[in-house]
Amino acid sequence: SEYLLSKKDFMNKKVLVTAGPTIEKIDPVRFLSNRSSGRMGYELAIEFANRGADVTLISGPTNLEPPTTINKIVRIESAEELRQKVLEHFEDSDIIIMTAAVSDLRIKNYSEQKLKKDKIVNLEMEKNPDIIKELGKRKRDGQILVGFAAETENLKENAMKKLKEKNMDMIILNDVSRKDVGFEKEENEVTIFTSKEEHRLEKNHKRIIAGNICDVIFSTFF
């Protein structure tokens, strides 16, 4: 509606959104990655921009069109690249939203030559840095850190644990065992937690969910 389009409640706010998967290269033809279309993050970035925010979108590889209303779009591939770009923009951001599906593992040694298939069974891997956890440690007063949790069981318990351990201000829980919402789907259904509150958003198109998430962020922190 016209009312929604003219609602500039995030005017003068700087918002950093990460979206999409990361990919960790193994050799010139193979990589390790996570499921993520990037859609939820793109919709959030678009919604914040519509509401007047100065948005930076840091995106892993996706098939999505770059939103025309966002002029700061940064492309990354690996988690380490994502980390560098996030740290570059972090200080300057009021709200940081990590929707990116960060690959938990990376390959210890990238091979310039294509590996023969019998050599890739026992690849050495290591954990990627936890980017949002690092942000949680550096966060200053007034900065709002929002994370996502992709869970299949013990949903609330796991989400609350992440909220606390990563020093987030808000976490958005996705039940990724569901077939009708989430990955590669147009619709989503999420529950938002702060340390004190819980908001269940009913199933809806990701664009509407993005609007609902912005509303909850606004009413909680501003």
**Beta carbon of residue 181, minimum distance to ligand CTP (angstroms, whole number):** 16
| Residue closer to ligand CTP, measured from CB, 38 or 147 | 147
Residue 174 interacting partner from Ca ion, ligand CTP, none (CB closer than 5 to 8 Å by kind):
none
Q: Specify the 3-state DSSP secondary structure of 222.
A: coil
**Beta carbon of residue 12, minimum distance to ligand CTP (angstroms, whole number):** 25
Tell which positions 144-203 bind ligand CTP, by CB under 6 A. 147-150, 162
C-alpha to C-alpha distance for 48 and 58, rounded to whole angstroms: 14
Burial class (CB within 10 angstroms; exposed 0-12, middle 13-18, buried 19+) of 218: middle
**If you ran DSSP here, which 8-state letter would residue 117 be given?**
G
Q: Specify the 3-state DSSP secondary structure of 39.
A: helix
Query: Two tokens at 104?
Result: 């938990």
Instruction: Choose among 63, 4, 7: nearest CA to 222.
Output: 7
The dihedrals phi and psi of 52, each to the nearest 5 degrees, come to 100, -5
The dihedrals phi and psi of 72, each to the nearest 5 degrees, come to -105, 95
Residues in contact with ligand CTP, counted by CB under 6 A, come to a total of 14
Q: Is 130 in the site for ligand CTP (CB under 6 A)?
A: yes
Tell which positions 32-51 bind ligand CTP, by CB under 6 A. none
The site string for ligand CTP over 57-96 (x = CB under 6 A, - otherwise) reads ----------------------x-----------------
Cβ atoms 188, 181 nearer than 8 A: yes
**Beta carbon of residue 192, minimum distance to ligand CTP (angstroms, whole number):** 13
Report how far Cα 166 is from the mean position of its chain's Cα atoms. Answer: 14
Exactly one of 32, 98, 145, 190 binds ligand CTP (CB under 6 A); that residue is 98
Cite the annotated binding site for CTP by residue number: 104, 114, 129-132, 148, 162, 166
* Residues found near ligand CTP in the complex (CB under 6 A): 79, 98, 100, 102, 104, 128, 130-132, 147-150, 162
Cite the annotated binding site by residue number: 104, 114, 129-132, 148, 162, 166
